[in-house]
Amino acid sequence: MAKLEDTIVGIVPCYLKSHSQGEYVFDRGWADAYERAGGRYYPKLQVSVPFTPATGPRLLVRGGIDQERMRSALASGLVALCGMTKASSIHVTFAREEEWRDLADHGFLQRTDQQFHWHNGEFGSFDDFLATLNSRHRKAIKRERRDAVASGITIHALTGSDITEEAWDAFFAFYMDTGSRKWGRPYLTRQFFSLIGERMARDVLLVMARRNGRFIAGAINFIGADTLFGRNWGAIEHHPFLHFEVCYYQAIDFAIRRGLKTVEAGAQGEHKIARGYLPQTTYSAHYIVDRGLRRAVSDYLDRERAYVAEAGRELTEAGPFRKTDAADT
């Protein structure tokens, strides 16, 4: 058995990048301003799971090791790596809150944002979830679910071997259409979908809508230990409320059936609040070498954090759930 001092006890996967695409924590404005002032923003170091706005550990520490001490060592190592690579900055995105706080002690600027997550109150059915909403939102969701399938549309929640190459072909067409319109250059290949179908189909939920014998819309989700992660959506026909049914309500249905605690419905989208998804703070940490840029970004982030916190409070208060002191039934 290897001695402890010969064993890797901590690691930070990171990327040296020449652009800011696929990150969901936007710093293009910082890059543009710095380069207009004569600086060189790229390359930069990025610590993240590529193309995935999901919170998780970023400073990876072996069990049985002093976690706080090792995270501190890893943060120092990142700063040293930044100097070795002559990167302008380090960006640790969708980190856990404790990592975010530890990184601040090493000169990383703190940034927050928000997503919208649904939380399972140990519901036995979708109707149990609906019972926690106020009357107006409860009726609206029932109407939306009815209207979404009113044109002869059927909904299919596919996992495992139920996900066929026909379904992947259709979903890839949806993905390319939406991606081309929203981002300009979709980054996932058709082979990617076949590979995840081959290697991790049991961890994939593909919600597909069908009409007149063909798939017309779909959303892909990834099944974690206690969380369903919603990702891409697309459609070749557009019907009222179909997006909400395929992306949000079917995800809630599935999470209830599987006993999952949370549905993370991807980045952005205040419209999710009316569907039972409430604000959840996300955390990122940014180390910037240039003192002038660092000072400007720090001032901006101070204001942004305050705005995110206040918006979260207001949006939570405006949520669809019944107030405990209300007489609503």
Alpha-carbon gap, residue 270 to 314, rounded angstroms? 12
Q: Give the pLDDT band (50/70/90) at residue 177.
A: confident
Is residue 327's pLDDT more than 80?
A: no
> Cα dist. 228→255, 262, 312 in Å?
7, 6, 22
Q: List, for residues 69-103, the tens digit of each pLDDT value.
A: 999 999 999 999 999 999 999 999 999 999 999 99
CB 227 within 8 A of CB 262: yes
Q: Does position 300 have pLDDT exceeding 80, yes or no?
A: yes
> Does domain 121-260 correspond to CATH entry 3.40.630.30?
yes
Provide mean pLDDT across the span 198-208. 97
Least Cα distance to 119 among 249, 277, 266, 275 occurs for 277
CA distance 216 to 53: 26
Structure letter (DSSP) for residue 108? P
Q: Which pair of structure tokens corresponds to residue 82?
A: 């930044």
CA distances from 184 to 105, 177, 178, 218, 302 (A): 38, 10, 9, 20, 32
When mean pLDDT is compared across 62-71, 305-314, 320-329, the lowest value belongs to 320-329
**Mean pLDDT value of segment 301-329:** 85
- Of residues 229 and 2, which shows the higher confidence score? 229
Q: What is the pLDDT of residues 135-173, one digit of tens each?
A: 999 999 999 999 999 999 999 999 999 999 999 999 999
User: In this predicted structure, what is the pLDDT of residue 266?
Assistant: 77
pTM: 0.90
Q: Where are the domains of the chain?
A: 4-114+281-317, 121-260
Please report which confidence band the pLDDT of residue 268 belongs to, taking 50, 70 and 90 as the band edges. confident
Q: Do residues 43 and 16 make contact, with C-beta atoms less than 8 angstroms apart?
A: yes
Pairing of strands 89-95, 44-47: parallel
The answer to whether 4-114+281-317 and 121-260 have equal CATH topology is: yes
- The single-letter DSSP state of residue 118 is E
pLDDT (0 to 100) of residue 254: 98
Assess whether pLDDT exceeds 70 at residue 190: yes
CATH number for the region 4-114+281-317 comes to 3.40.630
How does pLDDT run across 226-247, given as a tens digit for each residue? 999 999 999 999 999 999 999 9
CA–CA dist 317, 146 (Å, integer): 28
Burial 103-129 (b: 16+ CB within 10 A, else e): beebebbbbbbbbbbbebeebeebeeb
pLDDT at 325 over 80: no
Distance between CA atoms of 95 and 24, rounded to whole angstroms? 13
Residue 61 has pLDDT above 50, yes or no: yes
